[in-house]
Amino acid sequence: MEERGMEEQGMEQMAAPKLTRKELEDRLRAEFPEMFHAMSGYLIEDVWYGGGLVRRRYDPTSLRPGGTVSGPTIMALADFTMYVAVLSAIGWVPLAVTTNLTINFLKRPAARDLLAQARLLKLGKRLAVGEVGIRSDGEEDLVAHVTSTYSIPPPVK
């Protein structure tokens, strides 16, 4: 067992995502217009099979005292990035819903963009489990770490 490559294992990362970045953005824009408005700060930077990278633009109105990005802003970003990772692996199933999310806040984020990277740890028929690392743009240390479970609805017949 090779020791320090936890993320190298698991999902087949060479596989193509079920939705390209462009397809995903078009779908989200068309079907979640209210969300998309609230979400105007989000930018899907990359999508691969079982994972995704999302940028959240710096927005002074989400600041907490001391100039940092608020916890709820980080949780929302993590949840959205996990959603992107789930859809990348199962295709457009918009009614996939979060059943569980655990976040550890690790470091006060800087007053700049956040980058969240999600990857699935497991993809079952009924549940997808993944983790998300969130960083301030240009920094190495994690601002927060999330694990989350999505429930996948049964296929429509």
Which CB, 10 or 23, lies closer to its own copies?
A: 10
| Amino acid at site 108 | R
Here the tokens at position 73 are 């802003």
- Alpha-carbon span 129 to 152, nearest angstrom: 11
CB of 86 to its own copies, least distance (A): 13
CB of 58 to its own copies, least distance (A): 13
In the 8-state DSSP scheme, what is residue 75?
Answer: H
Which CB, 66 or 155, lies closer to its own copies?
A: 66
Share in percent of the chain as helix, strand, coil (round to 5): 25, 35, 40
CB of 64 to its own copies, least distance (A): 7
Footprint on this chain of its own copies (rule: CB under 8 A): 1, 3-10, 13, 31-32, 34-35, 37-38, 46, 51, 53, 60-66, 70-72, 75-76, 79-80, 94-95, 97-108, 115, 117, 119, 121-122, 126-127, 129, 131, 133, 135, 137-138, 140-142, 145, 147, 149, 151
- Alpha-carbon span 114 to 150, nearest angstrom: 23
CB of 60 to its own copies, least distance (A): 7
- Alpha-carbon span 106 to 71, nearest angstrom: 11
